[in-house]
Structure 1
Amino acid sequence: MSWPEAVAILLAGVGAGTINTVVGSGTLITFPTLLAFGVPPVTANVSNTVGLVPGSVSGAIGYRAELAGQRARLLRLGSASLLGGTAGAVLLLVLPSAAFDTIVPVLIGLGVLLVVTGPVISRRVAVRAERRGEAPAEHGSWWVWPAVAAAGIYGGYFGAAQGVLLMAILGIGIADGIQRHNATKNVLAGLVNAVAAAIFILVAQVDWVVAGLIAGGSIVGGQLGATVGRRLPPTVLRAVIVVVGVTALVVFLTD
């Protein structure tokens, strides 16, 4: 690997770590970069997943203030992410990529739609619950856990726009602020990446030079993303999520 290629991959890691912390879809930066430099697709996907784990940890640390008081929620939903991420990683190893190619754009499009309509839907859900005399659930509606697990399956398989899906699920299913949801999303996505990376390290071929460069860049990006993301007003953050999601959708549909 030449120095220009190494620098490009490092910078791609910075960009991916930043955008993953703010919203997700950083894989859309690193994965095409690796393919452009001749890294085989499966090796690129595996090495990218391993490399982005430290960035997820960095982003979660950057959002530590918003994580306060969410221990029970994270433990419950984290189990869904771990199970989903494990299943997704196994699917990547045993299924042809075409098996998920058709559903990925649908999931991203659904995530974007839910992020846009989420505030209206969540308000209606809250009003109906109040009419029934129900108190807001700490962990959200009953369907949040299986939905997070499903997002984990997708994230373990590929990961791009996983954050968009998680933000939609959390925003509709749990009554809380969008910045706290973003902090939760960073932890859940990080767990998915971590368990998938552990499986890939054991049974797949990891390009450790590539993974190391992405890891170094994503750590820096995680801190940059936390600094930027925590300062965005809810409307602006939601707009960023939509833009990234639509971009991901266009990339998949035109690939």
Structure 2
Amino acid sequence: MLTLLLIVSAFFAGVLNAVAGGGSFLTFPALIMAGVPPLNANATSTVAVSPGALASAYGYRRELGRIKEVSLPAFLGVSLIGGLLGALLLLWTPQRVFEEIIPWLLLFATVLFAFGPKVSAYIRRNFKVGHNTVLIVQFFIAIYGGYFGGGIGILILATLGVFGLTDLHAMNGLKALVSGCLNAVAVVAFAFGGAVYWNEALIMMAAAVAGGYAGAAVARHIPPPILRKFVIVVGVAMTVYFFVTKG
């Protein structure tokens, strides 16, 4: 039963990450329910969804070819460096400390996921942000992504919106590529740091790849607001759960 839970959560996490982001809100609690400690569940979740994000990016390969507003090497470069730093920071965090801050991270990620588009629109309307500034912002987003990753998709989408991208499918493709790459470098750190539960990770990887590739296809037909609302509900439920159990 727990194996089925991991497979189903990873598949739909792949779909969600391709369409709206927020897949870690499914894989992280599934791993917790399977008995994985929170810090290790976070690292294992990152390992599990990383291939799915790259599969999703491949599914968006046509849309990625249309992007002209942003330098892919620069954007990917700062994301890789930031993701590695975030992963190392997680490995240096004691399990007890991580258990104390996880409810706050979930709260931050949920609020961010819920209001991220409005914040991004406000910034675009009221501020003129240069490319170097946006790259600096993306660097810190990547650190957060390597450390925890909840809501990382909407953060990346918001940054791309500041860059001036308006093609949602192209933005989703670049989001998937960037998040997949920064997760990949975090995976290396987690693997060497011994933080990954590999049996659970390998079970979830295949399902996440299938979900990520399928999600890129169905994203053109499913209204993102519906999926966003579902992710927000899951995020609120998990935040409340961890605050209650923490107390």
User: Is the structural similarity TM-score above 0.5?
Assistant: yes
| Cα deviation, residue 103, structure 1 | 5.1
Q: Is the 8 A contact 2:53 2:212 kept in 1?
A: yes
Corresponding residue of 1:162? 152
| Cα deviation, residue 181, structure 1 | 1.3
Corresponding residue of 1:68? 65
Matched, 1:56 2:53: yes
Distance, in Å, in 1 between the alignment partners of 2:133 and 2:237 is: 29
Q: Could you say if the C-alpha distance between residues 252 and 74 of structure 1 is closer, same or farther in structure 2, counting changes exceeding 3 Å?
A: farther
Within the candidate set 39, 64, 77, 2:36 is matched to: 39
Distance, in Å, in 2 between the alignment partners of 1:187 and 1:29 is: 20
Within the candidate set 228, 235, 239, 1:248 is matched to: 235
Matched, 1:21 2:18: yes
Q: Deviations over 1:199-240 (max 9, x none)?
A: 1111224222211111010011011210122345xxx43564
Amino acid at match of 1:90: L
Q: Could you say if the C-alpha distance between residues 201 and 115 of structure 1 is closer, same or farther in structure 2, counting changes exceeding 3 Å?
A: same
**Could you tell me the percent identity over the aligned residues?**
30
Q: Deviations over 1:47-66 (max 9, x none)?
A: 22212121111111111111
| Cα deviation, residue 147, structure 1 | 1.7
Q: Could you say if the C-alpha distance between residues 239 and 116 of structure 1 is closer, same or farther in structure 2, counting changes exceeding 3 Å?
A: farther
The residue correspondences of 1:178-217 to structure 2 (distance < 5 A) are 178-217=168-207
Corresponding residue of 1:132? none
Structure 2 unaligned runs (5+)?
A: 243-247
Distance, in Å, in 1 between the alignment partners of 2:140 and 2:167 is: 23
Q: Is the 8 A contact 2:91 2:195 kept in 1?
A: no
Q: Deviations over 1:91-125 (max 9, x none)?
A: 11112313565355235424532303534542555
Amino acid at match of 2:231: V
Distance, in Å, in 1 between the alignment partners of 2:42 and 2:141 is: 17
Two-structure CA RMSD over aligned residues (Å) = 2.5
Count of residue pairs brought into register by the alignment: 237
Corresponding residue of 1:134? none
Q: Is the 8 A contact 1:46 1:204 kept in 2?
A: no
Distance, in Å, in 1 between the alignment partners of 2:85 and 2:102 is: 13
Amino acid at match of 2:15: T
SS in 2 for 1:66: helix
Amino acid at match of 1:91: L
The residue correspondences of 1:82-231 to structure 2 (distance < 5 A) are 82-95=80-93, 96-97=97-98, 98-99=100-101, 101-102=103-104, 104-106=106-108, 108-119=110-121, 121-123=123-125, 125=127, 141-231=131-221
Distance, in Å, in 2 between the alignment partners of 1:239 and 1:116 is: 17
Structure 1 unaligned runs (5+)?
A: 130-136
Q: Deviations over 1:56-90 (max 9, x none)?
A: 11111111111004486221111121111111111
Q: Deviations over 1:165-223 (max 9, x none)?
A: 11122223333322211111111111121011011111224222211111010011011
Larger Rg over CA atoms: 1
SS in 2 for 1:214: helix
Distance, in Å, in 1 between the alignment partners of 2:226 and 2:159 is: 16
